[in-house]
Structure 1
Amino acid sequence: MTDAISSILSQIRAHEQRLRAGDAAPGNAIAPTLPDAIGTGAEAPGFAQALNRAVNGVSRAQNQAGALQQAFELGDPRADLARVMVAMQQSQVAFRATVEVRNRLVQAYQDVMNMPV
């Protein structure tokens, strides 16, 4: 399971690098959730802000996938099957990653609450 998570994380990082380089199509990509200011000496956003951005990114990805799916079903020639399937998979991966983060946060909270004082 850990190898699968590491693999997904490396794929996400590679995708973010392609987005920053401008290689990916802008209408078909999920915007990276981390600002460019990280690592440049600027103050990083707080955890709540980063989590909020991540959840908003997942919501946008799901909305885009739903809109593409509906356009495909209505016969829009700009919404080909490949774009619809990629958008749906991207939103599914983003949602699964968000659920995994939530599960780990809940587990960490439970671990802290169960610590002896």
Structure 2
Amino acid sequence: MTIKSDHLYSEMQSMLAELRPQANQLDRLQLSENGQGNQTQTEFGVMLKSAIDSINNLQMDAGELRNRLEMGDQSVSLAQVMIASQKASIAFEAGVQVRNKVVDAYEKIMNMPV
């Protein structure tokens, strides 16, 4: 099985396009509550929360498929379970890498002389 980067990139772009309306709605809510707001900070927070929720959903779906296969559900194949498991694993690894980069950037900023 080969994974093409073009397909992954287009899938990430479509996920981002789905998130933008949600982020805009949250921005409008926060601006109406506060009267003002930092849009960049809000967008990053929404995007980060959405990414973590997406990783969690992939993990939960993979676990559910695994349980259904173990219980003998004929509508679930081993291939579906393995694909879902690998998607969840890749998403988790990507999340860990993003977290590591954020922590590294934070440490660099904190070590800057003022």
Q: TM-score, normalised by structure 1?
A: 0.69
Segments of structure 1 that go 5 or more residues without pairing to the other structure are: 1-6, 21-31
CA distance in 2, matches of 1:96, 1:9: 16
In 2: Cα distance, 1:11 partner to 1:109 partner: 32
**SS of aligned partner of 2:69:** helix
Q: Following the alignment from structure 2 to structure 1, what is the Cα–Cα distance between the partners of residues 94 and 4? A: 9
Equivalent position SS for 2:17: coil
Q: Which runs of 5+ in 2 are unaligned?
A: 28-38
* 1:35 corresponding residue in structure 2: 17
TM-score (norm 2): 0.71
Query: Considering only aligned residues, what root-mean-square deviation do their CA atoms show, in Å?
Result: 2.6
Q: Does the aligned pair in 1 maintain the 2:19–2:47 contact within 8 Å?
A: no
| Structure ID, larger Rg | 2
Is residue 2:105 matched to residue 1:108? yes
CA distance in 2, matches of 1:8, 1:116: 43
Which one of the candidate residues 13, 18, 25 is aligned to 2:9? 13
Q: Distance in 1 between matches of 2:112 and 2:58?
A: 38
Q: 1:47 to 1:54 in 2, by over 3 A?
A: same
Which residue in the other structure is 2:54 paired with? 57
Higher helix share goes to which structure? 2
2:36 matched to which residue of 1? none
Task: Please state how far the C-alpha of 1:9 moved relative to its aligned partner.
Answer: 6.4
Separation (CA, whole Å) in 2 of partners of 1:51 and 1:9: 22
- Report how far residue 47 of structure 1 moved: 0.3
User: Which residue in 2 is equivalent to 1:25?
Assistant: none
2:93 aligned with 1:96: yes
Residues 58 and 88 in structure 2, CA contact (< 8 A), matched pair in contact too: yes
